[in-house]
Amino acid sequence: MTEITAHHGLFRSTNLHVDDTGGAGRPVVLIHGWPLSGESWSEQVPALTAAGYRVVTYDRRGFGRSDKPGSGYDYDTLTEDLHTLLTELDLQDVTLVGFSMGGGEVARYATKYGSERVRSVVFAAAVPPYLMKSDDNPDGPLDQEAADGMESGLKQDEDAFYDQFTTAFFSADGELKVTEEQRQQAIALAHQADTNAALKCMEAFATTDFRDDLPHVTVPTLVIHGDADGTVPFEGSGKRTHEAVAGSELHVVQGGPHGLNVSHADEFNRVLIDFLGR
């Protein structure tokens, strides 16, 4: 692991754990998925640092090593946390990389705060434009029955739920694409999450509509997604995001599951670093 410097106490009401490699390189902020933490970017931080970038990761409120308040798990608040991070560290010319749930913060950031600090963005296996299937969103890949099943599963037995969830997270066509050690590491990160925060964020990423946010994304954009993603299926998410963001680039990882930044780390890093270099 690359040596990193942790920053604490950036927020008056909620302290978020931030890891910052520092240095003079252009900043890349990595926004993790549900229900993990900034540590889930362990395959990306060394590669990006070696390529000369300043890499910043943080744990979303309620997850990892951050404070776990009782509220604030809507995307407007979560995006405000991200903006506070950028302003407190005075990050300019930033690339925001949002994985899965983190893609929601990237989309909402464009609407709420514009592109003054942002050079480019990446949607990685991300939830936009709108997961929940409904009459006005027939292509949404998540139906109410599946959403209810996730909620009840987490409430009834966290151990069993996270075991099943991480297996699906890293599997393509029923085959686990990471080592068992890597899957166990993800389970350990999931268990750092506050249960209330996990449930509230589950609701947020399932039911938040980002269709009006995506046209506000006007900076260079990369969409990277696995074609075997069973958690956030490509057809209903990455493909639609690519179509909604004018001029965006699309890279589809063949055989990539949801957790493609781990299962296909070399390809993911190569494509990301190539995009950053342009």
What residues contact 184, with CB distance under 8 A and at least 6 apart? none
Long-range contacts of 142-149 (CB under 8 A, 24+ apart): 142/206, 142/236, 147/202, 147/206, 147/207
In the chain, what percentage of residues exceed pLDDT 90? 92
pLDDT score recorded for residue 12: 55
Positions annotated as catalytic residues are 100, 229, 258
CATH number of domain containing 144: 3.40.50.1820
The pLDDT, as a whole number, for residue 59 is 96
Mean pLDDT of 124-129: 98
Q: How confident is the model at residue 233 (pLDDT cuts 50, 70, 90)?
A: very high
Packed helices 75-88 and 102-113: angle between N→C axes, nearest 10 degrees: 70
- Which of 154, 135, 212 has the alpha carbon at shortest distance from 35? 154
d(CA 33, CA 232): 11
Q: What is the pLDDT of residues 138-196, one digit of tens each?
A: 999 999 999 999 999 999 999 999 999 999 999 999 999 999 999 999 999 999 999 99
Q: pLDDT grade, residue 261 (50/70/90)?
A: very high
Q: What integer pLDDT is reported at residue 116 of this predicted model?
A: 96
The three-class DSSP label of residue 181 is helix
Both tokens assigned to 139: 């292509």
Q: Which residue has the higher pLDDT, 219 or 70?
A: 219
Provide the 10 A C-beta neighbour count for residue 256. 24
Query: For the chain, what is the domain count?
Result: 1
Residue 14 confidence (pLDDT): 84
Domain span holding position 202 = 2-277
Distance of alpha carbon 48 from alpha carbon 28, whole angstroms: 8
In this predicted structure, the answer to whether residue 2 has a pLDDT above a threshold of 60 is no
Given this model, what pLDDT does residue 8 score? 44
105 confidence band (pLDDT: 50, 70, 90): very high
